[in-house]
Structures are given as C-alpha cells and as structure tokens.
A and B are shown apart, each in its own frame.
Chain A
Amino acid sequence: MAEVTMRVWRGDASGGDFENYTVTQNEGEVVLDVIHRIQATEAPDLACRWNCKAGKCGSCAAEINGKPRLMCMTRMDDLPEGTVTVTPMKTFPIIRDLVTDVSFNFAMAERVPALLPPPMPEDGYRMFQEDVERGQEFRKCIECFMCQDVCHVIRDHEENKQYYAGPRFFIRYAELEMHPLDQNDRREYVREEMGLGYCNITKCCTEVCPEHIKITDNAIIPLKERVVDAHYDPVAWLGRKIGRRTKRTAAEAGVQPAP
C-alpha cells in the first residue's frame, strides 16, 4: 500500500508547530482514517474531534491543504499527490492540535429568539411541502461551522465576533423568518444585534458548505431584502421615531421559549 506524509499542526493556545508523520494509506481512505492511524500508532494523544465519520454530524472540520473540509468526507486519493497538510480551523481559538474552541457558535445559538407558533390545533398543524422546503434546506445544516471559519468578517477580525452572528446563524434566522408557523419578527434584531449588514455576499460560505446549502443566495440575500423592507418602510420608520410600535420585535421579546 502507498505511503503518505501528513503534515499535522500540533500545539495548544500557547503555540505549536507542524509535525510530519509518514503513514500507510489504503484504497478508498479519507483524511480522518489516516489521522486515526496516526493516533493508533505514533501519537495516541493527537487531538481531533469526530463522531459519525459519515458527514452527518459536522464534528471533524479542519483545514486540509488550507481549505476547510470535513476530514471524514475528504478522500485521500482526491487530494493532489504529495504531503497533505492538516491544520485546525483558523477562526476559532485552539484547544489542542486539530481541536478548536467553537463556543462562539453556541453563544450565538443562545441569542436566537425562538420559534413563536400559534397554538396547535388538535390534529396538528397543516403546512404544505412547498412552504416547508425553503426552511428544510437550511435545516440540513450539520453545524460543522466551516462557513463561520471561512467568513472573513470574523476570520481575521476577532473583534467583530461580538457584533456578528455569521453565516450559520443567518441561515437559522432565514429559516425562522420563512417558517410557516413563526409569528416572531427578528428583522430589526438581525440587522442591529446580529450584524447582517457586515456580510458583503462574497459567497465563501456557500462554497465550503458540505451540505451544499445555498447560504448566500437562498438565505442571506432574501434575509437582507426582508430586513431592508422592514427597516426602511416609512410607516415602521415613523413608528420608531414617535415611539409607537405596532408589532412586537424579537429584540424586545428576548429569547422566547415556545409554548
């Protein structure tokens, strides 16, 4: 069987460096298989995060030859010949080796105002396939956070993280905004608190999405349009000016538990 040299970043928050490992590579293997072989032999303490090894859980995101990929879905024989470089996602603080601290994303999740549906009829809600399909596309998200990793609003600007939810959460807001049952209005909130305006639609997020979600075209752009409609609607503008509001906004409602 072929041998391959893996150049893997090892270290922690205090610093680190690349280490080279030369290991066997079998037919059909993915990058995660080879990382596991290094763990099982030379470096049992090599940290990497993984769960399903089937592209369904999004745990094993890393940067392979500089590009964010799921290690479990990247076949070794699809990579250019020669040394394969594996580094942790750059946008998040390092815990150790290939494992990063992705708690930024969980903090953003806590700030999402929940779905607010009408009371459920006895035999359940009625919704139609064409109405749920838009949201279903966004709910394919496996939370690998590669879209967050590649988004240059936060990739090189740690300071922006406090103002900016990032693509993963823009699809979440778009999903709620398009949800057939939702009665919450998050448009002002996503503009003012979640920094939707910082996104300048370069589509880097769409390119890396392992679920092929059209993040920019189907979520962010429609969301921007809706936000603009709400913000620059003259009636809403007047309402804000004179302090009279007709519709409850999500920001006021805070994080609303569903019934």
Chain B
Amino acid sequence: MTTSPYEHHEYDVLIIGAGGAGLRAAIEAKQRGLSVGIVTKSLLGKAHTVMAEGGMAAAMGNVSSEDNWRVHFRDTMRGGKMLNNYRMAELHAKESPDRVRELEQWGALFDRTKDGRILQRDFGGHRYARLAHVGDRTGLELIRTLQQKVVSMGTDVYMECKVLQLVHDESGRVAGAVAYWRPTGEFVTFAAKSVVLASGGVGKSWKFTSNSWESTGDGHAMALWAGAELIDMECIQFHPTGMVWPLSVRGLLVTEGVRGDGGVLRNSDGERFMFNYVADMFRAETAESEEEGDRWYEDHNAGRRPPELLPRDEVARAINTEVKAGRGSPHGGVYLDIGTRRSAEYIRRRLPSMYHQFMELAGVDITREAMEIGPTCHYIMGGVKVDADTAATKVAGLYAAGEVAGGMHGANRLGGNSLSDLVVFGRRAGMAASDYVEGGSGPSGFDWGEVESAVSRALAPFENENGENPYDIQRDLQEMMQANVGIIRTGDEIEFAINELETFTERVKNISVKGGRAYNPGWNLATDLPSMLTVSKCTSRGARERKESRGGHTREDFPKASAEYGTFNLAHTIAGGAWDGEITTERSPLLTMPDELKALLEEGK
C-alpha cells in the first residue's frame, strides 16, 4: 500500500455515521473482537436520532396482549402501501422486541407499566399500543444508551469528521473512505475491510424540514457514486405535524405522541376534519364518530381508533387539502388541540419537551391553547438497496442501515418504526460486515486516485475567485425542491425541477469559499452540496417515473394508486461514479412474498 500523504487509519470495519444504526453496528462488530472506527460529521451523541420523540415500535405485547410480530408486520406493510421489501418488514417485526430489551441491559430507562414492564403507547398506523418510550424524548434515550455502550467498549470515534467519498480497490470492492476534519480542514484516509453506511437522511434539501444541517444525503450520494443502487427516492415523508409559527422554527417537529395521547386536529371551523379523509383501506379499523374515537382512548375494545391516528401520509395530505380549501389557521396550518382534552398535569408529564418547545419558541401554552401545525419534510423512505438479511449493497464490502437504507418502510414509514429499524438493521449490518471481514474477502488495495480526485474537488472552491456563495445555492435549492417536488407533485413541476437541477450542478461547480479550512461552515456546506444535488435528482426522477400516488409520493395528475406501479421500485444508478454523472432510472421488481405472509395481510381487512 502506498504511504498516505494524509493522516491515515486502518480498521476492520469502518462505520460512517454515529446515529442509532451506526452505533448499533459498531457494538456488534466490537463484540466480535474486530477493530472498529466510527466517523461522524458532528459530535458523538448529536446525531439526528436525538430528534426522535414518540418511541420505538416493537410488538412486545406489554400493553395489548393481542399484539405480536404478525400484526406489526401487517401494519408496516399496509402503512408502506405494499412497496416495502417484505423480508425487511418481517425481520423488523420479529426482532425489534429483543432489540428494545437489550437496550435495558445497557442502561436505558423506559417508562414502565404498573407491573414493571416496558410501557407502550399508541401511534399512527399501529393497531396496538406498541411504542416503547421515555416521555417524548425516546431518541435521546436510544442514542445515549448506545453511545455509552460504544464508549465503554473502547471504540475509536472520529468526531466532526466529514466523509467525502468511498474508496475502492482495483476490483471494485469497497476499501475505505476519504474524509476531512472539520476543526482543522485537514484530510484523513481510512482503509477498511468493510464499510457500514449509517449516514441518515436527506431532508435538508427542502425548505420546511424537521431535519438538521447534517441531513444532506451524503451516504445516499456516496453509495450511488460508489456503484450501489438507490430505490424509492421519490418516497419522502412529510410529517403531518411540524410547527408553522414563528417562521424561524417552521418545520420543527411536533411528536405524533400528541395525537397518540389524545390530541386531535381541527380546522378553522373547529371541525375534526380527519373523519372526512378515511381511505377505504383503513375504514374497517377507524372510528366513525368523535364519540367512538374518544371511547377508544379510554378502552381500546370499546371503539375503533380515531382517524387522527391514520398513517402519516394520509394525515399530511388531509391537512394540506384543508389549508388549500381555506380552512387553515392564520399562519397556514391547522390546529392540533390537546389542551381541551387532557389535564395540564397529564400533558406536562407525557409531553414535557413539546410543552417547553411551544412555550419557549412560540409563546404558546399547549395545556391551554391549540398548536398551529402543518406538514414538514421529515424522512426519506428511499435509500440504498440492500439485502434484507445482511444489509449488503451491490458493492462488495459495503453495507447500509437506518435511514440511508431503502426498502424497509416502502412508500410510507409508520411512526416509531424508525428507531426500531436502526437497531434491528444496525445490528444486522454490523454482523454481516464482520462476517465479510472474518471470511477474508476484504479489499486488496486502496485506490489513491479516488482520494486525490475527492481532495481536489473539495478544495476547488478555495481556488475559485469570483464564484457563488454556497449559502445562496442551498437556499435556492431548498426553495426549488419545496415548490416543485414537495408534498403534492405534478408532472410539469417535476420536469421543471429536473431541468433546474442541471443548472444547480453548474452553479455548484462555480462555488467560491471565503476564509480558511479550519471550522469553516461555508466550505463544509460546499462539500455537502454535491450530495444534496445527487439525492434531489434521484427524488425528482423517481417522482417523474412513478405516475401514481402512493404513500409519500403524491401526484396531483395521477391521484390514485395503480396496481401496475405497485409491483416495482424505481432504482437509480450512476455509471462511472462521477458525482455529476448521468443517472439511470429503471424499474426493479419487488420481492415475491411467501403465501403465509400474504395471508397475514388479508387478516382484519
């Protein structure tokens, strides 16, 4: 191996991303006695996982003894509008209870039932109370538990270190990555026998988003450039309840737990409008009247679930329609009311961070006043195509888990299925990446040419004198994507976006950066923009090709789901691996589900 001109490290398993999936993968590989390095753009413990509020879904049956993996599987598939990789949904439903319980061995303290077991709460799309939780800060509990476990195992963590690109060997196997330290701007290379991508989502390409600056789709883009396939990129979840006011916090998440704990949606006429938006698929299990829905909160056998707890795509579309029809709130949302339905003491105990968030940022006391909320870009169902059992991608030695992986959630994710996804598939990715290393099929070299091209591309904005400010490009991109590839889409607008994205590509090549390399956020953003563009292109292309409405993809010009389109994913590849290379989009048939699983989907229809 050539000597690196940069700081260089070698590991058995390199993990990119330190959220729930990355940390869980690291634990697995460490337990096997392998050397593990974790690289994260932020500090340890700050990953997007901390933003998860409501809980993690696992059919433990602690609250509803009728619950089991089969019902969870069914709910996940129906919520995903059947576009899911059924095997992922199956594994997830079967394994998530064990993954929740093991967190307790590592120190997690979930809320309890009266008899001392883990308490579970109701959530949209889940037939039974299924979400293990800690108040409304479950994600923080998950990340802190995994972080403390990883630290106690003595794992190397590279914080504030941004990976630019994956590196191959000469035969095309993954061989590591090239990155830079944000505090110094110095480059660093990692040679690894296998790589787990756990880099999270893409939401920062939209204007109103619950996602942080980190969610720029680095892992999605990196995988595509490295030769992997991305699927379902058109399926973006707009969470129904984001804050809409003040403008500066527009998009900030309001947990679905508010509705799970009794909150209801009203329009400007005070009407609980969700009763008007119950799709046929969910009619049999949804309450017909307010009285019935309210009875269900008291006793789940005394009525059916209120329509506020339909899957997120259904609720987000309904809110959008109400606002468009002129029945919105003053700032363009609708009302989420829990203050008139539950006691102040109950609200403060069950939803403490929501209480503080509204009190401190909006000056609204949610125990007395309704919240103004509207849809916000929250999650991408699409991602790297993986094998369900091993999280393996098409590229030898490269694994993907968590939000960066596609398939598990189909066209729409149920709330609470993300945290459990992270630990179920984080563990599986860690296992398979370790098997690969132990099997001796690691890379046979390290392509320094790829390193050099990534480095020179990253440095180009410093040499460009009169180019554009990266912040201007980011802002324009967010506005363009929000306007044209947002929650409701039409063919013309998507086509416009696809053309615009070519212009953005040219603009990104003409960025100028001021200042030095040490902790320079302008430069950091410049290195994120190629990823943001790559994922935006895939989302737009998928949206153009999917001429139907399904889950997190709604076409005004094709408002219904089509049976034909329900048989395949749209898969994107890039030939040659250049970041601005030509993307190919093809139909990729869904896996065929075994009959015994198909039968589960029919139950209780």
Question: Is B561 an interface residue when CB atoms closer than 8 A count as contact?
Answer: no
CB-CB contacts below 8 Å: A192-209 with B: none
Chain A hits for B513, CB < 8 A:
44-45
Question: Is B212 an interface residue when CB atoms closer than 8 A count as contact?
Answer: yes
CB-CB contacts below 8 Å: B340-387 with A: 353, 356-357, 360-362
Q: When the two chains form their complex, are residues A73 and B106 in contact, meaning their CB atoms are under 8 A apart?
A: no
Question: Is A166 an interface residue when CB atoms closer than 8 A count as contact?
Answer: no
Chain A hits for B141, CB < 8 A:
139
The residue in A41, A142, A255 that gathers the most chain B C-beta atoms within 10 A of its C-beta is A142
Mask: chain A, 96-117; 1 = CB below 8 Å from B; 0 = not: 1101011000100110101101
Q: When the two chains form their complex, are residues A255 and B154 in contact, meaning their CB atoms are under 8 A apart?
A: yes
Q: When the two chains form their complex, are residues B43 and A114 in contact, meaning their CB atoms are under 8 A apart?
A: no
CA distance A48 to B522 in the complex (A): 11
Chain B hits for A40, CB < 8 A:
469, 471-472, 475
Question: Is A58 an interface residue when CB atoms closer than 8 A count as contact?
Answer: yes
Segment of B108-116, B415-423, B536-544 in the binding face: B108-116
Q: When the two chains form their complex, are residues A128 and B247 in contact, meaning their CB atoms are under 8 A apart?
A: no
Question: Is B303 an interface residue when CB atoms closer than 8 A count as contact?
Answer: no
> Interface range on chain B: under 10, 10 to 19, 20 to 34, or 35 or more?
35 or more
Q: When the two chains form their complex, are residues A28 and B112 in contact, meaning their CB atoms are under 8 A apart?
A: no
Segment of A15-23, A118-126, A157-165, A227-235 in the binding face: A118-126
Question: Is A54 an interface residue when CB atoms closer than 8 A count as contact?
Answer: yes
Chain B hits for A47, CB < 8 A:
519-521
Q: When the two chains form their complex, are residues B151 and A109 in contact, meaning their CB atoms are under 8 A apart?
A: yes
Q: When the two chains form their complex, are residues B109 and A114 in contact, meaning their CB atoms are under 8 A apart?
A: no
Contact of A39 among B111, B356, B521 (CB under 8 A): B521
Q: When the two chains form their complex, are residues B104 and A181 in contact, meaning their CB atoms are under 8 A apart?
A: yes
Segment of A129-137, A148-156, A218-226, A237-245 in the binding face: A129-137
Q: When the two chains form their complex, are residues B46 and A58 in contact, meaning their CB atoms are under 8 A apart?
A: yes
Mask: chain B, 27-67; 1 = CB below 8 Å from A; 0 = not: 00000000000000011111010110000000010000000
Q: When the two chains form their complex, are residues A56 and B112 in contact, meaning their CB atoms are under 8 A apart?
A: no
Chain B hits for A53, CB < 8 A:
212, 249, 252
CB-CB contacts below 8 Å: A35-82 with B: 39-41, 43-59, 73, 75
Question: Is B153 an interface residue when CB atoms closer than 8 A count as contact?
Answer: yes
CB-CB contacts below 8 Å: B244-275 with A: 245-249, 252-253
Q: When the two chains form their complex, are residues B101 and A135 in contact, meaning their CB atoms are under 8 A apart?
A: no
* Least CB distance, B214 to chain A, in whole angstroms: 6
Q: When the two chains form their complex, are residues A135 and B471 in contact, meaning their CB atoms are under 8 A apart?
A: no
Q: When the two chains form their complex, are residues B521 and A46 in contact, meaning their CB atoms are under 8 A apart?
A: yes
Q: When the two chains form their complex, are residues A52 and B521 in contact, meaning their CB atoms are under 8 A apart?
A: no
Chain A hits for B520, CB < 8 A:
44-45, 47
Chain A hits for B475, CB < 8 A:
40
Question: Is A2 an interface residue when CB atoms closer than 8 A count as contact?
Answer: no
CA distance A29 to B46 in the complex (A): 23
Question: Is A95 an interface residue when CB atoms closer than 8 A count as contact?
Answer: yes
Question: Is B213 an interface residue when CB atoms closer than 8 A count as contact?
Answer: yes
* Least CB distance, B142 to chain A, in whole angstroms: 11
- Say whether, besides A26-B247, A129-B112, A51 and B214 are in contact (CB < 8 Å): yes
Chain B hits for A44, CB < 8 A:
469-471, 513-515, 520-522, 525
Question: Is A5 an interface residue when CB atoms closer than 8 A count as contact?
Answer: no
Q: When the two chains form their complex, are residues A126 and B117 in contact, meaning their CB atoms are under 8 A apart?
A: yes
Chain A hits for B48, CB < 8 A:
51-52
Question: Is A30 an interface residue when CB atoms closer than 8 A count as contact?
Answer: yes
Q: Closest residue to A117 on the B side, CB-wise?
A: B105
Question: Is A248 an interface residue when CB atoms closer than 8 A count as contact?
Answer: no
Question: Is A33 an interface residue when CB atoms closer than 8 A count as contact?
Answer: yes
Q: When the two chains form their complex, are residues A45 and B514 in contact, meaning their CB atoms are under 8 A apart?
A: yes
Question: Is B148 an interface residue when CB atoms closer than 8 A count as contact?
Answer: yes
Q: When the two chains form their complex, are residues A127 and B148 in contact, meaning their CB atoms are under 8 A apart?
A: no
* Least CB distance, B39 to chain A, in whole angstroms: 15
Q: When the two chains form their complex, are residues B522 and A124 in contact, meaning their CB atoms are under 8 A apart?
A: no
* Least CB distance, A212 to chain B, in whole angstroms: 8
Q: Closest residue to A143 on the B side, CB-wise?
A: B45
Chain B hits for A132, CB < 8 A:
109-112
CA distance A182 to B121 in the complex (A): 27
Question: Is A27 an interface residue when CB atoms closer than 8 A count as contact?
Answer: yes
CB-CB contacts below 8 Å: B505-537 with A: 513-516, 518-523, 525
* Least CB distance, B14 to chain A, in whole angstroms: 20
* Least CB distance, B467 to chain A, in whole angstroms: 12
Q: Which 8 A-B pairs have the closest CB atoms?
A: A28-B246, A45-B515, A44-B522, A126-B116, A114-B152, A40-B471, A47-B519, A96-B519
Seen from chain A, the residues whose Cβ lies within 8 Å of a Cβ on chain B are: 12, 26-30, 33, 39-41, 43-59, 73, 75, 95-97, 99, 101-102, 106, 109-110, 112, 114-115, 117, 120, 123-129, 132, 135-136, 139-143, 176, 179, 181, 255-259
29 A-B residue pairs with CB within 8 Å: A28-B246, A29-B246, A30-B248, A30-B249, A33-B248, A40-B471, A43-B514, A44-B471, A44-B521, A45-B516, A51-B48, A52-B50, A55-B357, A56-B139, A73-B360, A73-B361, A75-B360, A109-B148, A110-B154, A112-B148, A124-B60, A125-B104, A126-B117, A128-B116, A129-B114, A136-B134, A139-B109, A255-B154, A259-B105
* 13 extra interface residue pairs, beta carbon distance < 8 Å, beyond A75-B361, A127-B112, A258-B152: A28-B248, A30-B361, A33-B248, A44-B469, A45-B521, A56-B50, A56-B353, A59-B43, A59-B46, A120-B104, A124-B117, A135-B109, A142-B50
Seen from chain B, the residues whose Cβ lies within 8 Å of a Cβ on chain A are: 42-46, 48, 50-51, 60, 101-102, 104-107, 109-112, 114-118, 134-135, 137, 139-141, 144, 148-149, 151-154, 157, 159, 183, 212-214, 245-249, 252-253, 353, 356-357, 360-362, 469-472, 475, 513-516, 518-523, 525
